[in-house]
Chains A and B, each alone.
Chain A
Amino acid sequence: MSRLPNGGLIDRTRTIPFSFDGQSHIAHPGDTVASALLADGVRLMGRSFKYHRPRGVLTAGSEEPNALIEVGQGAHKLPNTRATVQEVFAGLQAQSQNRWPSLRFDLRAGLDVLHPFLGAGFYYKTFLWPRSFWHRFWEPLIRRAAGLGRISALPDPASYDKAWKHCDLLVIGAGPAGLMAALTAGRAGARVVLADEDFMLGGRLNGEALDVGGMAGADWARQVVDELQSLPNVSVMPRTTITGAYDGGTYGALERVADHLPDTSPAPRQIFWRIVARYAILAGGAHERPIAFPNNDRPGIMLASALRSYLHRFAVLPARRWVVFANNGEGVRTAHDLLKAGAEVTLVDTRKEAPPETTCRHLPGAEVVNTRGRQGLKAVELRLANGDTEWVEAGGLAMAGGWNPGVHISCHMGARPVWREDISAFVPVENAVPGLEAVGAANGDFSTHAALKAGAEVAAEALGVKPVDLPKAEDAPIEITPFWQVKAKGRAWLDFQNDVTVKDVELAHRENMQSVEHMKRYTTLGMATDQGKTANTGAMAVMAGLTGQGMAATGTTMFRPPFSPVQIGALAGRQQGANFKPERLMPGDGFARAHNANWLEMGLWQRPSLFRAEGERTWRQSCDREVKMVREAVGITEVSTLGKIELLGQDAARFLDRIFLTPMKKLKPGHIRYGVMLRTDGFIMDDATVARLAEDHFVMHPTTGASADVLSHLEFCAQLRWPELDVQIVDASEQWAQVAVHGPKAAEILRGPGFMRFANMEIAGVMARVYGVSYSGEPGCEIAVPARYGAALLGWLLEQAKALGGGLYGIEALNVLRVEKGYITHAEIDGRVSHHDLGLPTPEKDFIGRQMAARKGLRGPELVGLKPVGSAKALIGGALLVEGEFSADNVQGHITSAVFSPTLGHMIALGLLQNGRARHGERVRMVDAMSGISAVCEITPPVFIDPKGERLHA
Chain B
Amino acid sequence: MRITCPHCGARDSREFSYLGDAKMAAGKGDFASVYLRDNPAGAHSELWQHVMGCRAWLEVERNTSTHEVLSIREAGK
Contacts and interface: CB of A to CB of B under 8 A. Distances in A.
Asked whether A and B interact, the reply is yes
A719 interface: yes
B14 to A, nearest CB: 10
Interface string B19-36: 100001101111101110
B57 A719 contact: yes
27 contacts: A246-B1, A248-B1, A248-B2, A249-B2, A250-B2, A274-B12, A276-B2, A413-B66, A680-B33, A680-B34, A681-B34, A681-B35, A712-B17, A712-B51, A715-B49, A715-B55, A715-B57, A716-B49, A719-B56, A719-B76, A720-B47, A720-B57, A720-B75, A723-B76, A849-B29, A850-B29, A852-B34
B56 to A, nearest CB: 7
A922 interface: no
Interface in A242-284: 246-250, 274, 276
B70 to A, nearest CB: 13
Which of A247, A276, A414, A848 has the most chain B CB within a 10 Å cutoff? A247
Interface of A: 246-250, 274, 276, 413-414, 680-681, 712, 715-716, 719-721, 723, 848-852
B76 A848 contact: no
A413 B63 CA distance: 13
Contacts, number: 53
B10 interface: yes
Given A719-B57, A721-B25, A852 B2 contact: no
B29 A247 contact: no
Contacts of A715: 49, 55, 57
Contacts of A248: 1-2, 10
A850 B27 CA distance: 13
Contacts of A848: 29
Contacts of A413: 66
A720 B29 contact: no
B37 interface: no
A852 B32 CA distance: 11
A548 to B, nearest CB: 32
Contacts of A247: 1-2, 67
B29 A852 contact: yes
Nearest to B49: A712
Contacts of A850: 29
Contacts of B19: 716
Contact of A719 (B24, B35, B75): B75
Contacts of B1: 246-248
A670 B29 CA distance: 33
Interface residues of B, number: 26
Nearest to A855: B31
Contacts of B67: 247
Q: Please list the 5 inter-chain residue pairs (A to B) with the smallest Cβ-Cβ separation, ordered nearest first.
A: A248-B2, A720-B25, A247-B1, A851-B29, A720-B76
Contacts of A274: 12
A204 B1 CA distance: 34
Contacts of A414: 66
Contacts of A712: 17, 49, 51
A615 to B, nearest CB: 47
A164 to B, nearest CB: 9
Interface of B: 1-2, 10, 12, 17, 19, 24-25, 27-31, 33-35, 47, 49, 51, 55-57, 66-67, 75-76
Contacts of B35: 681
A414 B49 CA distance: 28
A248 B34 CA distance: 32
Nearest to B27: A680
A680 B29 contact: yes
A657 B55 CA distance: 23
A851 B30 CA distance: 6
Given A680-B33, A715-B57, 10 more contacts: A274-B12, A680-B24, A680-B29, A681-B34, A716-B57, A719-B76, A720-B57, A723-B76, A850-B29, A851-B28
Contacts of A716: 19, 25, 47, 49, 57
Contacts of B57: 715-716, 719-720
Contacts of B28: 851
A491 B29 CA distance: 68
A614 to B, nearest CB: 45
Contacts of A849: 29
Contacts of B12: 250, 274
A384 B55 CA distance: 75
B67 to A, nearest CB: 5
Contacts of A723: 76
A248 B12 CA distance: 9
A681 B29 CA distance: 8
A715 B51 CA distance: 11
B26 to A, nearest CB: 9
B65 to A, nearest CB: 9
Contacts of A250: 2, 12
Contacts of A276: 2
Nearest to B57: A719
A27 B54 CA distance: 56
Nearest to A248: B2
A735 B57 CA distance: 24
A653 B55 CA distance: 23
A248 B11 CA distance: 9
B21 to A, nearest CB: 12
A848 B34 CA distance: 11
A247 B12 CA distance: 10
A249 B11 CA distance: 11
A852 B31 contact: yes
Interface centre among B27, B33, B55 (most CB of A within 10 A): B55
A853 to B, nearest CB: 10
A716 B58 CA distance: 10
Contacts of A681: 34-35
A203 to B, nearest CB: 30
Nearest to A846: B29
Nearest to B28: A851
A851 B19 CA distance: 21
A276 B3 CA distance: 13
Nearest to B29: A851
B29 to A, nearest CB: 5
A843 to B, nearest CB: 15
A715 B10 CA distance: 22
A851 B12 CA distance: 37
A698 to B, nearest CB: 19
A919 B52 CA distance: 48
Nearest to A414: B66
Nearest to A274: B12
A413 B34 CA distance: 33
B42 to A, nearest CB: 14
Contacts of B25: 716, 720-721
Contacts of B34: 680-681, 852
A736 B44 CA distance: 41
A719 B7 CA distance: 15
A720 B19 CA distance: 13
A580 to B, nearest CB: 16
Contacts of B17: 712
A248 B56 CA distance: 21
A859 B27 CA distance: 24
Contacts of B30: 851
A723 to B, nearest CB: 5
A130 B41 CA distance: 47
Nearest to B22: A720
B61 to A, nearest CB: 15
A358 to B, nearest CB: 56
Contacts of B10: 248
Nearest to A678: B29
A259 B75 CA distance: 49
A737 B32 CA distance: 43
A413 B1 CA distance: 12
B15 to A, nearest CB: 13
Contacts of A719: 56-57, 75-76
B47 to A, nearest CB: 8
A376 to B, nearest CB: 51
Contacts of B55: 715
